[in-house]
Amino acid sequence: MAIIELRDYAHRPTERGKGLEKFSFTLSPGDAYSLHADRIDDAHLFMRALATLEPPEKGSYLFNGEELNFSRRRRLLSVRRRIGYLGTDAALIGNRTLRTNLLLGRYYHENNLNLTLGDDVLSLCRTLGIEEKLDLRPAQVASEDARAAIIVREMTKGAEVFLVEQAFIALARAAAEMYIEMIRKMIDAGVPCIYYAGLTQYDRLFKKRDIYIRDGVVSVV
Amino acid sequence: MRDYVGQLGRQTVERLNRYADQSALFYRILRQIIVNPRAGRRLRLRIVVEQIYFTAVEALWIVIPISLLLGSMMILQFAGISAQHDLGRITVALLIREFGPLVTALVVILRSATAVTIETGYMKVLREIEALELQGVDPLDILYVPRMIGITVSLFCLITIFCITSVLGGYAIAWALTTLPLQNFLAQIGKAIEGLDIAMVALKALFFGVGITVISLHYGLAVQRGITEVPVATSRGAVACLFYCLAVNFALFAAFFL
């Protein structure tokens, strides 16, 4: 069964984009797509639509077969939690340390403030070089470290789907290569992934199939 | 003329929309306080404590000097112009019932309401609220509810401290620095203060706290496009909070004393 299914989905144009004309799309376990768009804004809108951050103007969104009601905000949160989304504008909470940012979801859902980071999270932090900076706030670390913390947060939240959007723009080369390896492992493990690289050399890293957006028309090849 | 009428109509519709949005936000926060979901309960409590620390404890060094200065000045003025037997009643009516809540609300607006609008505006523009939602965290639970509880409790505490400090401290300063007749002043205050006065102070703390929080959050959340909107929203939010407090102050006075 498809994890995400968009049926006759359409979205009005954004300020600089063409929007998304009516299309249908499914994302199932094991899928890996490379996204190509003639406008960055349309690619961004497509990714945000999949992350449930843009309510459809027309059509419907099904997650694990259940149609989402975008006016029931609290129900949407449990879906958003199961989608790993590394957008270009993904953020950390500015007035909390990187450690608290990584633990915030668990503090909330487990209703316990005495939690510590798990070994898997610490290992990822070590790999991406932020282990020593976990007690600093986002403004006190370099942008690549903040980006690395976002990657750790999204990769360790147990997402069923992973959406990656120009993920390497703020990463040092070594960290980017490690990150590529992590995504590759995830795809090999069957976690569906959509990847938008923009114009970088990473364009064809993971693709099994392609999604094209031209003048707001979405097509899957 | 047609342009003027059109502009007036648009402004009225915008204002009504704003009030409707604020009412909806208030309803959502209130419902969440009543439901008190288990998820994030401890986190919420910690953020409430942080908010009380910021709004009440860190504001003490501002509220106490203001209350002392205002209290001593007003007690001296009242002693000069009123007969001895009216002094207690006038002090209760003006200092405790009117100036205490209003001046404290003004301090909270200047310190906390502006901070809430700025923080919320930045969080909205920088997609931090979305970051919370992507972790399945409801912003209502850890941003809006703690702000409302924290600011309302803080306001109640600060008003109480303001009233006590302005009366006792003001009396002490007036007694130490002047030779005005202030015999039996505290006994007169004790006689003049009624249950209704205390209820009025509590009601004002409640209405001011809830209103200031909702208005400042609403102006922060209304920021849409960029960081440059945040200062404008902050300024408008602070002015709206001030007018709201003055209007509520008058409405409560009219309801109980006219």
Cα–Cα distances in Å, from A92 out to A110, A124, A197, B123? 20, 17, 22, 10
Q: Kindly determine whether residue B135 and residue A90, on different chains, have CB atoms separated by under 8 Å.
A: no
CB A47 within 8 A of CB A218: no
Chain B residues whose CB is inside 8 A of the A78 CB are 136
Chain B residues whose CB is inside 8 A of the A77 CB are 133, 136-138
Q: Which residue has the higher pLDDT, B214 or A197?
A: B214
pLDDT of amino acid A170: 63
pLDDT, tens digit, 9 for 90 and up, residues A113-152: 988 898 989 988 988 888 899 999 999 999 888 988 998 9
Q: Which of A83, A93, A108 sits opposite B39 (nearest CB)?
A: A108
Q: Kindly determine whether residue B134 and residue A109, on different chains, have CB atoms separated by under 8 Å.
A: no
Chain A residues whose CB is inside 8 A of the B123 CB are 93-94
pLDDT of amino acid B182: 67
CB B245 within 8 A of CB B212: yes
Which amino acid does the sequence have at A22?
K
Q: How many CA atoms lie within 13 A of A110 on its CB side?
A: 10
Question: Which residues of B sit within 8 Å Cβ distance of A?
Answer: 38-43, 46, 119, 122-123, 126-128, 130-138, 141-142
pLDDT of amino acid A200: 59
Strand partners for A217 = A214
Nearest CA in chain B to A54: B130
For residues A181-217, one letter each, b for 16 or more C-beta atoms within 10 angstroms of the residue's C-beta and e for the rest, the string is ebbeebbeeebbbbbbbbeeebeebbbeeebebeebe
Nearest CA in chain B to A91: B128
pLDDT of amino acid A183: 80
Give the best residue of A50, A108, A155, A160 to mutate against chain B (max B CB count within 10 A): A108
Task: Give start and end residues of each alpha helix (H) in B95-228.
Answer: 100-108, 114-125, 128-134, 139, 145-164, 170-177, 185-192, 195-221
Q: Which of A77, A85, A157 sits opposite B138 (nearest CB)?
A: A77
Q: Does A182 touch chain B (CB under 8 A)?
A: no
Which amino acid does the sequence have at B106?
L
Q: Residue B141 and residue B52: Cα distance in Å, rounded?
A: 16
pLDDT, tens digit, 9 for 90 and up, residues B82-132: 655 677 788 888 888 889 999 999 999 999 999 999 999 999 999 999 999
pLDDT, tens digit, 9 for 90 and up, residues A159-175: 889 998 876 666 667 77
Q: Which of A51, A80, A113 sits opposite B43 (nearest CB)?
A: A113
Residue A203 has pLDDT above 80, yes or no: no
Chain B residues whose CB is inside 8 A of the A104 CB are 43, 132, 135, 137
Map tokens 């007035």 to a residue: A95
Q: Does A94 touch chain B (CB under 8 A)?
A: yes
pLDDT of amino acid B78: 79
pTM of the shown model: 0.89
pLDDT, tens digit, 9 for 90 and up, residues B159-216: 999 999 998 888 888 788 777 666 677 788 888 888 888 999 999 999 999 999 999 9
Q: Which residue has the higher pLDDT, B90 or B24?
A: B24
Q: Which of A92, A108, A111 sits opposite B131 (nearest CB)?
A: A92
Distance from CA of A34 to the nearest CA of B (A): 22
Q: Kindly determine whether residue B133 and residue A113, on different chains, have CB atoms separated by under 8 Å.
A: no
Nearest CA in chain B to A109: B39
Q: Which of A53, A77, A93 sits opposite B136 (nearest CB)?
A: A77
Q: Kindly determine whether residue A80 and residue B136, on different chains, have CB atoms separated by under 8 Å.
A: yes
DSSP letter assigned to residue B84: G
Q: Kindly determine whether residue A112 and residue B131, on different chains, have CB atoms separated by under 8 Å.
A: no
Query: Nearest 5 degrees, angle CA A129-CA A135-CA A138?
Result: 75
Q: For B53-80, what is the mean pLDDT? A: 89
Q: Kindly determine whether residue A107 and residue B40, on different chains, have CB atoms separated by under 8 Å.
A: yes
Nearest CA in chain B to A15: B225
Q: How many CA atoms lie within 13 A of A221 on its CB side?
A: 9
Q: Which of B130, B133, B136 sits opposite A109 (nearest CB)?
A: B136
Domain ranges of chain B: 39-257
Q: Which of A53, A74, A105 sits opposite B135 (nearest CB)?
A: A105
Residue A210 has pLDDT above 70, yes or no: yes
Chain A residues whose CB is inside 8 A of the B38 CB are 111
Instruction: Sketch out chain A's domains with CATH numbers.
Output: 4-220 (3.40.50.300)
pLDDT of amino acid A182: 80
Residue B133 has pLDDT above 80, yes or no: yes
Q: Residue B111 and residue B113: Cα distance in Å, rounded?
A: 6
Phi, psi of B56 (to 5 degrees): -100, -60
Residue A205 has pLDDT above 70, yes or no: no
pLDDT, tens digit, 9 for 90 and up, residues A30-84: 888 888 888 888 888 999 999 999 888 888 999 988 899 888 888 899 999 999 9
